[in-house]
């Protein structure tokens, strides 16, 4: 088995990557999380773009552990906020990882914004860095709009108020399989599959 | 005396406009505030630009009262937030007019943003609408940067953390006269002076 470190402490992301690899028939890769390499401390995400952050995280993790590492940085770009929260999505309320507070703040900011200006896109950049330093960086996008209510309990972050284009359900009302096929992170990880297949050997 | 309605309930803005008119030697204009015309209710500011909002407010006020009206819409455009809070500056925390909460939120969002990406501009659009419908719209900008601390007690809004270019003091540490000369709203109102002089007759 080739070890692959997913540079995250988010258990849902680990499950997601394992599910996508399995569905794609990529075997021979054991996906570890940061919980499995306690010696490695993540640096703060201070890049100006998702790509910067994903690449910095994967590079740090691969260097520190000697294991091939995948990292992603994802967020919601809201048209009426000129593309923000963007790279600040996870700490929009000023408090890192406060999902409920971040979403509540966003909905408050959009209170007076009319429907026709509530377009948004979930964006994810994913980077694979191999122990020899070789890099692959990809990007996935998922267009939709931000509604005023919150619906559904699958997913996390801004999912309960994001309705993907062409649908009526929120991202938090979709099944894991539906999200893998369409979502920003699903699309980014799909694009990493050729490189991961090669890694598996 | 020609009456001029400044479409605001902010007493500091009334004082500011009266001071600027006096300094410019424009006499013959009596500046009223919305407190003087209780029959008029402001519409929410839902425009996508400062100019849209200023013009909509001045137009509404002039129509409802038959008095020439000036309105402004101002805010802080932060580079690292793609120009936001922008038109949402006064309700950035999701709660309208919560100055302390808005500033605290902004500083929280910028916590990990390095100094070289903390540039910002205060922007103000001001509109004059005369009873006959004639319109003048102008814009003033004030470049600077957002510091992590809060200093000074003059001013309001984001002033305590905004250091204008070429200076070391925050906008809240400047005197009213210094602000009139340099600030975004000062610059916008200066540009309205020719039209206001004409109105005074």
Q: pLDDT digits over B146-163, tens only?
A: 999 999 998 789 999 999
Strand spans (E) along A35-106: 68-78
Extract the tokens encoding B155. Answer: 């001013």
pLDDT, residue A180, reads 81
- The domain total for chain B is 1
Q: How confident is the model at residue B45, as a pLDDT?
A: 76
Cis-peptide, bond into residue A198, ω within 30° of zero: no
> In angstroms, rounded to a whole number, what is the distance separating the alpha carbons of residues A151 and A159?
8
B114 touching A (Cβ < 8 Å): yes
State yes or no: A10 annotated in a binding site.
Answer: yes
ipTM passes above 0.95: no
Q: What is d(CA B22, CA B24) in angstroms, rounded to the nearest whole number?
A: 5
**What is the spatial distance between Cα B29 and Cα B22, in angstroms, rounded to a whole number?**
10
Return the CATH number at A17. Answer: 3.90.950.10
Examine the pLDDT at B49 and tell me if it is beyond 90.
Answer: yes
CA distance B82 to chain A (A): 6
Answer yes or no: is B96 a known binding residue.
Answer: no
* Chain A, chain B: beta-carbon pairs less than 8 Å apart: 59
Nearest to B176 by CA among B150, B196, B156: B156
B108 min Cα distance to partner chain A (Å): 4
Contact at 8 Å (CB) between B127 and B55? yes
- Residue B71: pLDDT band by 50, 70, 90 thresholds? very high
With 80 as the cut, is the pLDDT of residue A21 above it?
yes
Provide the shortest C-alpha distance from residue B15 to chain A (in Å).
29
CB contact under 8 A, B84 and A84: yes
Q: At what angle do helices A11-23 and A184-200 cross, to 10 degrees?
A: 60
Question: Do residue B88 and residue A82 have CB atoms under 8 angstroms apart?
Answer: no
How far apart are alpha carbons A116 and A137 in whole angstroms? 33
Q: Which of B94, B109, B111 is nearest residue A108 as measured by Cβ atoms?
A: B94
Q: If you average pLDDT over every residue of chain B, what do you get?
A: 93
Q: Domain span at residue A131?
A: 2-200
Rounded CA separation A35/B38 (Å): 62
Laid out side by side, the sheet with B119-129 consists of: B29-33, B2-6, B68-78, B119-129, B135-146, B162-164
Instruction: State the pLDDT at residue B50.
Output: 96
Tokens matching residue A184: 């920003």
User: Which DSSP string corresponds to A125-141?
Assistant: EEEEE-TT--EEEEEEE
- Average pLDDT on B20-40 reads 90
Instruction: Choose among B48, B82, B113: nearest Cβ to A117.
Output: B48
Summarize the confidence of residues B99-110 as an average pLDDT. 96
Q: What confidence category does residue A177 fall into, taking pLDDT thresholds of 50, 70 and 90?
A: confident
Of A160-174, B25-39, B125-139, B159-173, minimum mean pLDDT range: B25-39
Residue B88 has pLDDT above 80, yes or no: yes
Comparing B172 with A176, the larger pLDDT belongs to B172
The answer to whether A47 faces chain B, any CB pair under 8 Å, is no
Task: Decide if A109 and B94 are in contact by the 8 Å CB cutoff.
Answer: yes
| Minimum-distance CB partner of A46 among B84, B92, B112 | B112
Going by pLDDT thresholds of 50, 70 and 90, the confidence category of residue B77 is very high
Over range B71-81, report the average pLDDT: 96
Position A49 scores a pLDDT of 95
pLDDT, one tens digit per residue, over A43-87 is 777 889 999 999 999 999 999 999 999 999 999 999 999 999 999
Interface probe, candidates A44, A53, A56, A84, chain B, greatest B C-beta count within 10 A: A84
- Residue B73 counted as an annotated binding residue: yes
On whether B10 is known to bind a ligand per the annotation, the reply is yes
Asked if B109 and A91 come within 8 Å (Cβ–Cβ), the reply is yes
* Helices and strands in chain B, H and E counts: 5, 6
- Which residues of chain A lie closer than 8 angstroms to B107, CB-CB? 94
For range B16-37, the mean pLDDT: 92
User: B51: distance to nearest CA of chain A, Å?
Assistant: 16
Predicted confidence (pLDDT) at residue B42 exceeds the cutoff of 80:
no
Q: Does A89 appear as a known binding residue?
A: no
Cβ neighbours of residue B2 closer than 8 Å, sequence gap 6 or more: B28, B29, B30, B68, B199, B200, B201
- Convert the pLDDT of each residue in A89-144 to its tens digit: 999 999 888 999 999 999 999 999 999 999 999 999 999 999 999 999 999 999 99
Q: Is the peptide bond before B152 cis (omega within 30 degrees of 0)?
A: no
Q: What pLDDT, on a 0 to 100 scale, did the predictor assign at position B143?
A: 97
With an 8 Å Cβ cutoff, is A112 touching chain B?
yes
CB-based contact (8 Å) between A101 and chain B?
A: no
A9-23, A183-197, B48-62, B117-131: segment of lowest average pLDDT: A9-23
Helix axes B11-23, B184-200, angle to 10 degrees: 60
Residues paired with B73 in a beta bridge: B125
Alpha-carbon distance of A143 to A83, in angstroms, equals 12
Strand partners, B125: B73, B139
Give the nearest chain B residue to A80 (CA atoms): B48
Distance in angstroms (rounded) separating the CA atoms of residues B34 and B29: 16
Q: Report whether pLDDT(B82) > 90.
A: yes
Q: What does the buried/exposed string (b/e) look like for B92-127 if buried means 16 or more CB atoms within 10 Å of the residue's CB?
A: bbbeeeebeebbbbbbebbeebeeeebebbbbbbbb
Q: Which of A60, A73, A180, A182 is catalytic?
A: A73
Query: Would you say residue A39 has pLDDT above 90?
Result: no
End-to-end CA distance of chain A: 10
Q: What does chain A come to in residues?
A: 201
When pLDDT is cut at 50, 70 and 90, the band that residue B13 belongs to is: confident
């Amino acid at each position: 088995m080739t070890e692959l470190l997913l540079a995250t402490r988010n258990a849902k992301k680990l499950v997601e990557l394992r599910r996508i690899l399995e569905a794609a028939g990529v075997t021979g890769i054991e996906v570890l999380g940061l919980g499995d390499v306690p010696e490695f401390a993540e640096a703060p995400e201070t890049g100006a773009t998702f790509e910067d952050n994903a690449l910095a995280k994967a590079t740090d993790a691969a260097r520190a552990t000697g294991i091939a590492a995948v990292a992603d940085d994802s967020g919601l770009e809201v048209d009426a906020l000129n593309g923000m929260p963007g790279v600040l999505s996870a700490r929009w309320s000023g408090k890192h990882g406060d999902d409920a507070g971040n979403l509540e703040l966003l909905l408050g900011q959009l209170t007076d914004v009319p429907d026709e200006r509530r377009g948004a896109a979930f964006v994810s950049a994913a980077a694979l860095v191999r122990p020899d330093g070789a890099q692959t960086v990809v990007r996935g996008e998922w267009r939709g709009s931000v509604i005023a209510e919150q619906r559904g309990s699958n997913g996390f972050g801004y999912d309960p108020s994001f309705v993907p284009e062409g649908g009526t359900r929120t991202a938090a009302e979709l099944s894991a399989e539906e999200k893998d096929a369409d979502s920003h992170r699903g699309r980014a990880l799909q694009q990493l599959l050729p490189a991961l297949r090669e890694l598996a050997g």
